[in-house]
Structure 1
Amino acid sequence: MKTLRCAATVLGIVAAAILGTGPADIGSAAAQTLPGIHEGDSRQSVLSGEGPLAAIGRLNLGGTGHCTGTLIAPSVVLTAAHCLYSHALHRFLPPSAVHFLAGYSRETYIAHRRARAVLPSPDFLPNPAGVVDLAGNDWAVVVLEAPIDQPPLPLADVPLGPDTVVEQAGYSQDRAHVLSIDPACRILGRIEGTPLVAHTCDAVGGDSGSPILIEGPDGPAVVAVHSSTGPDFGLAIPVGVFLPAITAYLETDAPADGAVAEEPAPTDP
């Protein structure tokens, strides 16, 4: 796989990603002012919560903003760990504050579930400055209080070489109430010394945790999770980095060590 060797390039994306990480704040901004839009805006709005992409949903985060998550099992959602960490509280959000709206589109959705547990990567280290986690630990799963009757998207551990054509779909901060998809972006290569891959998908705030997809004979499959964005390219964590840990969880169906505890009291989404 091609690696991006230039140290200045890596440092540039890290610095730029300070502007592009974290959940989208309440509010919006014009697309042309947002880091993450590369050589024109290629995003297309998906107005219906139907079909395979209905497994993608909006994660509402205790009234502080939102990210994107993907249903990968009937009661398990994949997202980015930094979305779930509150720098104000100096800890991960309690599950009662995390709500998943599958197939969300203009105030409608196919299902709403509160989290019963939040399971970040055990190696994730919060960074108050918002600098990118280059170790590939910016992933998490949210365990829902009840399953959702929607086919989940499969995880696919496949090579992501330069010029691999991919898709990315998420709830961008400037289009927060519809799913936006970049239907034909591509992988640029791997960041040298890290497991991360750079991509050209138009992903901005709110797209954190969104899936990088490849279309297969059986439909879309998740090949990476979007972690951060900058003016020249975004960064994503390939499925192979976290697949063993998630597979172990799916096989046991029990909260793992380090899980944020379940909270019983529901709140409004």
Structure 2
Amino acid sequence: MRLAKFCLALALTLGIAPKTGPATANGTWRGVENIAGWEAVGRLTISGKTMCTGALVAPDLVLTAAHCLYNPMTGKKVRADRITFQAGLQNGKAKAERAVVSAAAHPQYRHRTQKGAAQVGHDLALLRLSSPIASDQVVPLAFEDRPEKGDILSVIAYTVGNRHDPQMAYPCQVVARKKATLVMNCEVDFGASGAPVFALQHGQRPYLVSVISAKAEMAGQDVSVGTSLDPSVLQLLVSNS
């Protein structure tokens, strides 16, 4: 699924312009084999046509971008049962695969279809799976505190160019922040909507700090935009699911 473009108000505040082509930014695309727990990242196939990336945050819950719940052409909401999550998909084979039975967007998210008007800052959704994924197959990811400007991050995503294998952009960092919205120089491409943004720490399991919402341009530099996370976000989404 194409990446959302974010609202004009944020663009004016941070000096960012929406961007429609593939982004090129700091960070080198590489494999994920040496990242502990990467299998919690998976591909979301939507109506058998479009795709996003998501991350398992509980045995039966997947976190992604809210705009992934909408048809990019019509703006209509997609039925939850038309979405499939493939955790740890690599070489075309998933560690676990589940259908989605319900989907809840952040209560403050409002989907807009006109050009340049999609919302960020609350572009989050939680998907409930048809059955839990056992921890001996995939271990859910944990949240941590919001990152600050200058923090080193990575992104793991499935894209239109790598539909069957995840790729990691690393290293990249936070270049600006406004409330819950992060601007990062992490490389993203179509299909990376909803991709988890990680903080890595000396070979330990990565923890989630953001979810990719959009790609853009700031001061002539390709950037990505995401919503920062903390445990209260998951609690809020669960209460509304």
| TM class by smaller structure | 0.7 to 0.9
Q: Which runs of 4+ in 1 moved over 6 A?
A: none
CA contact 1:117–1:143 (8 Å) conserved in 2: yes
Cα shift readout 1:91-141 (whole Å, capped 9, x = no counterpart): 321111000000011220011100010111122111213536455111001
1:235 aligns with 2:232: no
Q: Which has the higher strand share?
A: 2
- Which SS does the other structure have where 2:38 is aligned? helix
Asked whether the equivalents of residues 224 and 236 of structure 1 are also in contact (C-alpha less than 8 Å), the reply is: yes
Aligned with 1:225 (options 207, 211, 217): 211
Matches within 5 A, 1:170-249: 170-191=157-178, 194-216=179-201, 218-231=204-217, 232-240=222-230, 243-248=231-236
Which residues of 2 match residues 7-26 of structure 1 at below 5 A?
Answer: 10=14, 12-13=16-17, 15-16=18-19, 19=20
C-alpha contact 1:49 1:110 (8 A) present in aligned 2: no
Distance 1:79 1:49, change over 3 A: farther
Q: 1:106, 1:177 within 8 Å by CA — same for their partners in 2? A: yes
Distance 1:226 1:132, change over 3 A: farther
For residues 221 and 50 of structure 1, what CA distance do their matches in structure 2 show? 11
User: 75, 85, 92: which one pairs with 2:77?
Assistant: 92
Q: Counterpart amino acid of 1:148?
A: I
**2:35 paired with 1:45:** no
* 1:130–1:117 Cα change, 3 Å: farther
Shift of 1:78: 0.4
The structural deviation recorded for 1:87 is: 4.9
Give distance in 2, aligned partners of 1:177 and 1:132.
31
Taking the aligned partners of 2:36 and 2:11, their CA distance within structure 1 comes to: 42
User: Which structure 2 residues correspond to residues 153-172 of structure 1 after superposition, within 5 A?
Assistant: 153-158=141-146, 160-172=147-159
Distance 2:144 2:36 in 1: 19
Supply the distance in 2 between the matched residues of 1:63 and 1:140 (Cα, whole angstroms): 19
Matched residue pairs, number? Answer: 225
Cα–Cα, structure 1 residues 182 and 132, in superposed 2: closer, same or farther, change >3 Å? Answer: farther
**Partner AA of 1:224 in structure 2:** S
AA matched with 1:154: A
Read off the aligned partner of 2:97 and give its amino acid letter. Answer: H
Contact 2:64 2:211 in 1 (8 A): yes
CA distance in 2, matches of 1:96, 1:113: 10
Matches of 1:50 and 1:111 in 2, distance apart?
Answer: 18
Structure 2 residue 94 is the aligned partner of structure 1 residue 109 = yes
Q: 2:39 aligns with which of 40, 50, 54?
A: 54
Distance 1:7 1:106, change over 3 A: closer
Distance (Å, rounded) in 2 between the aligned partners of 1:80 and 1:172: 14
**Residue 109 of structure 2 contacts residue 119 of structure 2 at CA under 8 Å; is this kept in 1?**
no
CA RMSD of aligned residues (A): 2.6
The gaps in structure 1 that reach 5 residues or longer are 1-5, 20-33, 260-269
> Using the alignment, how far apart are the partners of 2:112 and 2:103 within structure 1?
18
Residue 248 of structure 1 deviates from its aligned partner by 4.6
8 Å contact from structure 1 (residues 49, 104) kept in 2: no
Asked if 1:151 is matched to 2:139, the reply is: yes
- Percent of paired sites with the same residue: 24
TM-score, scaled to structure 1 = 0.75
Are residues 7 and 132 of structure 1, via their aligned partners in 2, closer, same or farther at CA, if it must alter by over 3 Å?
closer
* 1:63-82 equivalences in 2 (<5 Å): 63-82=48-67
Q: In the alignment, is the contact (CA less than 8 A) between 1:209 and 1:225 conserved in 2?
A: yes
TM-score by length of 2: 0.83
